[in-house]
A and B are shown apart, each in its own frame.
Chain A
């Protein structure tokens, strides 16, 4: 089955994704992000989300954690990386192992 690939975020950050044919869900507020997430989750297999938007709706995104689809991947927006991606990675190590063994 064919799914789409989606990207969520502000206009500037998603522009580069739009150029290569990824479906864009533009949003900047919490309400907008929730709506976009719901719409995107229905048809997309991968949703790239800017770190800013990710921080607005972390709980909602977490509900997709244990489902095989969609994969929700944060990426640094136009403002640069805030380290959210690594933070999440460390958190998943912590859930799995019980303590963070990647730090050193």
Chain B
């Protein structure tokens, strides 16, 4: 490990020792953060997996319902029936702090129109379309939950990666570098001390010889 390029002085030594202390503290804190994030992440990811399986299965069913309903209708009447949805859905977003990561939480709000998703007349449509729309309507909560969990998991995984890099950089680069430099300065200073002592001894000898 390369040592830092500093002059071996007592000043520098004190400074480096302080830095080493900060680095060690930071390393400990970041490591704790990483472990906690990982704990949260594992819970989320398991839930995410379950939700995704469930949502994909249900969505597949619903899509099939729509396909069947559409097959019995002409293309025009199907698009005409669904052309103007009777309502508009808005997302209510609030933010939560999950171990230092800001994750969004979603809730939905029907901003205009009635709560009833059925937006077409009985003419030109059939009962399977009603069923398909109703089953899609009941999926909404699940889809929002999926969005929340999946986004949180992805944000956490990004944060974990960043934290892990920082922990590793501190552990394998910063701290060894600082330790090595401190050792180098210590050795250099001891060496200086010894050479001063020797010089003094020599001078003393010379002085004694002259007398």
The answer to whether A binds B is yes
Q: Are A69 and B90 in contact (CB under 8 A)?
A: no
Total A residues in contact with B, Cβ cutoff 8 Å: 42
Residues of B within 8 A of A (CB): 38, 41, 45, 48-49, 52, 55-56, 59-60, 62-63, 66-67, 70, 78, 82, 85-93, 95, 102-104, 106, 108-111, 113, 117, 119, 132-133, 136-137, 140, 143-144, 146-148, 150-151, 153-161, 164
Q: What are 15 A-B pairs at a CB distance below 8 A? A: A2-B111, A5-B89, A12-B66, A17-B136, A19-B85, A19-B136, A20-B85, A20-B133, A21-B85, A21-B87, A73-B146, A73-B147, A76-B59, A89-B150, A89-B153
Of the candidates B49, B86, B95, the one whose C-beta lies within 8 Å of that of A68 is: B95
Q: How far is the CB of B110 from the nearest CB of chain A, in Å?
A: 7
Q: A46-B106, A73-B147, A73-B150 are in contact. Are A92 and B45 (CB under 8 A)?
A: yes
Chain B minimum-CB-distance residue to A97? B38
B136 and A45 form a contact (CB under 8 A):
no
Q: Interface residues, chain A, CB within 8 Å of chain B?
A: 1-5, 12-13, 15-23, 44-46, 48, 65-66, 68-69, 71, 73, 75-78, 80-81, 85-86, 89, 92-93, 95-98, 102
B138 to chain A, nearest CB (A): 10
Q: A89-B49, A89-B52, A97-B38 are in contact. Are A68 and B157 (CB under 8 A)?
A: no
In the bound complex, CA of A27 to CA of B109 (Å): 26
Instruction: Check if A20 sits within 8 Å of B89, measured CB to CB.
Output: yes
| Interfacial chain A residues near B67, Cβ < 8 Å | 12, 78
